[in-house]
Amino acid sequence: MDFTPDETQRDVAGLAADVLAREIDFGRPAGPDGYDEQVWRALAKAGLLGLALPPELGGDGLGVAEVAALLTELGRSAAPVPALTLALGLLPLQALGTPDQRAWLLPEIAAGDALVTAAVCEPSPTQVVAEDGRWLLTGVKTNVPFASVATRVLVPAGGGVFLVDPQAEGVTVAGSTLRLDGVAVDEADQLGGGDAVEVSRRFAVAGMLALGDGALAGALALTTRHVAERHQFGRPLATFQAVAQQIADVYIASRTVHLAVQSAVWRLATGRDPQPDLDIAAYWLTREGPPALATCHHLHGGLGVDITYPLHRYYAAIKEVSACLSS
């Protein structure tokens, strides 16, 4: 068992870090779709959004481990982009999509022209009714990232996964909540495979874990730098015992989450049963992530709530993935 990133994964992480360091500007307002399109386009131009596409569709033929490495860097930089489309949309489509679905959507995602998200959280199961050779979906999905601007939403229902157009008749989007009222889908909208629900869920969980792992590490690095540079009574904050103890607690939480996430992603990438490790990693992230971010905010004082300072982005990322992983 060796979780050490291989050369390809290190190259992916390094390239992503370079692009993000060059392109991210936290003073630049989000675009009309709620994210920084300039950063997203730069990632696409660097080939990072197409890592998991097969060569015949212009990709590198890589897998979940490399996508997880990218997501971790996106989390570490608090990148204002729709990062989870890679785990919620691209990976399930690559593994389960029909040839037509893959040929249509995968290159669009890789180019930064399409967002495909997934509705994996729900207060109750979505109902499926067969009618005239198609299916009608009814239910409520919560915590759906970028639902209002997505090209398609992957919706698990009745043992299958369907591509739903958020602009279709019967679909209502309110924030991150997706309501389906007799939404019609047919065979062309269904992903293949009898275990499609479980496969897509595992990709979604692994992606959220990787993003959360990076966000926690990024918040730790930001806070460590702050307490080393900020002075009180003529001394850096980091030299005060109480501050040192608190930042040590955040470090322990970050390293615990990182190890658990690495184990889960490794098992998924190598074809082993990832479920116990996915559950363990989700437990540690949802248990330790929010309190760790609260400590980071506390150590920053008033600076932590300044919208031009990136700490709130880390908090939002941890809050988003923790809410979905807990549901």
pLDDT confidence band for 286 (50 / 70 / 90):
very high
102 shares a domain with 31:
yes
Instruction: Examine the fold and report which residue of 114, 147, 162 is the final residue of a domain before the chain moves on.
Output: 114
Please return the burial class of 107, using the count of CB atoms within 10 Å of its CB with bins 0-12, 13-18 and 19+: middle
Give start and end residues of each alpha helix (H) in the chain: 7-23, 37-45, 64-76, 85, 91-96, 99-110, 196-229, 241-269, 275-300, 311-326
> Rounded to whole angstroms, how far apart are CA atoms 189 and 97?
9
| 184-239 pLDDT tens trace | 999 899 998 778 999 999 999 999 999 999 999 999 999 999 999 998 888 999 99
Residues in the chain: 327
The pTM of the full predicted model, rounded to 2 decimals, is 0.94
pLDDT of 323:
87
Eight-state DSSP code of residue 118 = E
108 shares a domain with 130:
no
Instruction: Examine the fold and report which residue of 169, 189, 209 is the final residue of a domain before the chain moves on.
Output: 189
The pLDDT mean for the chain works out to 93
320 shares a domain with 203:
yes
Longest dimension (CA), the chain: 76
- Is 182 a domain residue? yes
Radius of gyration of the chain (CA): 20
Burial 122-154 (b: 16+ CB within 10 A, else e): beeebebeeeeeebbbebbbbbbbbbebbbbbb
pLDDT confidence band for 1 (50 / 70 / 90):
low
125 shares a domain with 110:
no
> Rounded to whole angstroms, how far apart are CA atoms 197 and 203?
10
pLDDT confidence band for 65 (50 / 70 / 90):
very high
- Is 83 a domain residue? yes
Domain range holding 213? Answer: 196-326
Percent of the chain with pLDDT over 90: 80
Number of domains the chain contains: 3
| 85-120 pLDDT tens trace | 999 999 999 999 999 999 999 999 999 999 999 998
| 134-190 pLDDT tens trace | 999 999 999 899 999 999 999 998 888 999 999 999 999 998 899 999 999 998 999
The answer to whether 39 touches 70, Cβ cutoff 8 Å, is: no
> Rounded to whole angstroms, how far apart are CA atoms 117 and 154?
6
54 shares a domain with 23:
yes
pLDDT of 324:
85
Identify the CATH number of the domain in which residue 267 sits.
Answer: 1.20.140.10
130 shares a domain with 55:
no
- Is 142 a domain residue? yes
